Amino acid sequence: MRDHVVVTGAGCLSSLGIGADTFVDELLAGHTGIAPVTRFSTEGCRSHSAALIRDFEPARYIDPLKLRRIDEVGRLALAACRLATEDARLPTGTDQVGVALGSATAGLHSTISHLHSLATTGPATVPALGFSNTIGNAAASLCAIEFGLRGPNLTLGQKQASALAAIVFAVGLLRQGRVAAFLCGGVDDIEEHFFRVHDRFRVLSPADGQQEASRPFHAQRNGFVLGTGAHIVAIETAAAAARRGVAPYGEILGIAATSSACEPHAWPAGPDGIARAMRGALDDAGVAASEVSVVFAAANSTRQLDWVEALALEQVFGPCAVPVVSIKGAIGESGAAGAASLMAALVCLRRGTLPPSLGCTPQDPACRVDVSPSARPARGRIALVNATADGGAQYCLVVRALPAGEVECKARVAL
Amino acid sequence: MDQPLPTQVKEAIVRCLRLPLAPQDIADDVPLFGDGLGLDSIDALELVLELERLFGVKISDEQLGRRVLRSVSAIVELIEQTKGRAPAAQG
């Protein structure tokens, strides 16, 4: 029998604060992490808001001598991995733990900085110190070095679906028995050029004459708001967790990956790719659609994605047949958002309350989904988590939350 | 007026390696690598390039690098030797 994979630790740095409990407290309270950008200038842009990580002090997590040569994404990855490792009491210095990061911005800050040096003073003065940070896998490598994690080590860049891509990959290796545990999830940070390119491509919700806001499923939604975050989970086989006596947040019951094979920067033209991923994850989990308590949607306030995801939900569950939540009204869109949804799903279901979908009303009548602008009671413990990237990559997880302190998977492993 | 050479070297080390220290916190004879200041091979690469750029010293092989990058004093010694060999017009 296939060993179950469980989530035993969470490391969270977000625009709603530090720590998984703080993150969920703020989500349930209906607070937003989106605010006017002050970290860099947005002068001349159509959009001026983002959800930037708050209260993060890198020196609390990283030795100052190391900190000087680790760029923004690396700092976030290291800190989130440290929090997840501590939360799971995961062993360090071992061949049996891997690191799988999902990121759309790994290496971005260092690359911009090196290009700036190259353009202004030429190749002779380009600093060697930060060069290794320009490599896309630098942040994951630093995590391996810092904690002595000698299992598989990789970074997947799948834009907005990066985090779930990494988690799905890690679950696959755990099921094959290749390693005992993974630190996996998403890490993204933004800087001025990244923001300005998105602004220029006109994908962000604009302020000029309109309401600049992240409003998934809203009738007048007009684009997404960029987010940031580091959401890392420790996952391991149920057997490994039971041996260590660690009580999981929940089980990852099913995974699936599909593609809509659409144009490079386009959202899927239709619902089929998203529906196939959801059906695939439900099949993999052995769970019927009617057993799902809530869907944490990928919907991000863009006209197209929210609509096609709503159609896909209708195909799989029926119109308004399952409670749907999008937390992107609170945290914006990023490559880490899927892992943020996973954490939110497990902790919220454990607490028995679903978070609000900020900005969802008045709802688009073309999006026939059961969303709520307010927190509401959760029925059951099974969640489906979606992530979709422009370009068409689609990942889906089916998870089951476990009550605090319950090592429920032991019995199944014994079978 | 120029700072004394050891001070210039310390300032260069702190600046180019972004060390969380003040230049005066580095003693002339403290080992730069390992148990001393804790620098490593990537720092060495950066430091070699910076010393060449600022002081015109060539550290062309690993053996010389190990000897010269031992401490601020050893770096100063090499710079002074290099200056001594240079034509007066450039010195």
ipTM comes to 0.71
Chain B CB contacts of A68 below 8 Å = 17-20
Q: pLDDT: is B84 or A161 the higher one? A: A161
pLDDT value, residue A208: 74
Query: So where are chain A's domains?
Result: 5-402
Of residues A65, A124, A125, nearest to B20 (C-beta): A65
Pick the CATH number of B5-90 from 1.10.1200.10, 2.40.40.20, 2.30.30.280, 3.20.20.70: 1.10.1200.10
| A368 Rama class: left (phi>0) / alpha (psi -120 to 50) / beta | beta
Whether residues A68 and B19 touch (CB distance < 8 A) is answered with yes
Choosing among A63, A67, A69, which should be mutated to test the B contact, i.e. which has the most B CBs within 10 A? A69
A231, with CB counted inside 10 A (0-12, 13-18, 19+), is: buried
Alpha helix ranges (H) inside A91-191: 108-121, 138-147, 162-175
A205-227 CB burial, b ≥16 within 10 A, e <16:
bbbeeeebbbbbbbeebbbbbbb
In angstroms, the first-to-last Cα distance of chain B is 15
Distance to chain B for A130, nearest Cα, Å:
9
Q: What homologous superfamily is domain A5-402 in, according to CATH?
A: Thiolase/Chalcone synthase (3.40.47.10)
Between positions 58 and 87 of B, the ones with CB within 8 A of A are: none
Average pLDDT of chain B, as a whole number: 88
pLDDT value, residue A1: 58
Residue A397: what are its φ and ψ, rounded to 5°?
A: -120, 145
| Chain A interface includes B22 (CB < 8 A) | no
Whether residues B17 and A68 touch (CB distance < 8 A) is answered with yes
Give the pLDDT confidence of B38-66 residue by residue, as tens digits: 888 888 988 998 999 899 999 988 888 98
Whether residues B42 and A125 touch (CB distance < 8 A) is answered with no
DSSP 8-class letter at A397: E
Whether residues B17 and A64 touch (CB distance < 8 A) is answered with no
Residue A237: what are its φ and ψ, rounded to 5°?
A: -70, 150
Cβ contacts of residue B46 below 8 Å, gap of 6+? A127, A128, A129, B16, B17
Chain B CB contacts of A124 below 8 Å = 53
Pair type for strands A376-377 and A181-188: unpaired
Omega into A319 within 30° of 0, i.e. cis? no
Give the Å distances, CA to CA, from A142 to A14, A53, A105, A133, A245: 20, 20, 16, 9, 28
User: Residue A310 corresponds to which tokens in the numbers above?
Assistant: 């709503």
Confidence bin at B90 (pLDDT 50/70/90): very low
Chain A CB contacts of B17 below 8 Å = 68, 129
Amino acid, res. A402: L
Q: What residue in A sits closest to B50 (Cα-Cα)?
A: A125
Amino acid, res. A347: V
Q: What is the rounded CA–CA span in Å between residue A173 and residue A285?
A: 16
User: Residue A259 corresponds to which tokens in the numbers above?
Assistant: 């593609």
Interface of A with B (CB under 8 A): 64-65, 67-69, 124-125, 127-129, 132
pLDDT value, residue A132: 86
User: Residue A334 corresponds to which tokens in the numbers above?
Assistant: 């990023």
In angstroms, the first-to-last Cα distance of chain A is 8
Whether the pLDDT of residue B89 is over 50: the answer is: no
Q: A328, A385 in Cβ contact below 8 A?
A: no
Distance to chain B for A100, nearest Cα, Å:
25
Chain A CB contacts of B46 below 8 Å = 127-129
Q: How many residues comprise chain B?
A: 91
Whether residues A67 and B17 touch (CB distance < 8 A) is answered with no
Distance to chain A for B17, nearest Cα, Å:
7
Confidence bin at B87 (pLDDT 50/70/90): low
Mean pLDDT per 10-residue segment, chain A (415 residues): 88 98 98 97 97 96 90 97 98 97 96 91 79 93 97 98 98 95 98 97 89 96 98 96 95 98 92 98 98 98 98 97 98 98 98 98 98 97 98 97 69 36
Neighbours of B40 (CB within 10 A): 11
Which three-class secondary structure state does DSSP give residue A330? helix
Can you say whether the dihedral through the CA atoms of A83, A89, A90, A91 is positive or negative? positive
Give the Å distances, CA to CA, from B23 to A187, A368, B8, B28: 35, 64, 9, 10
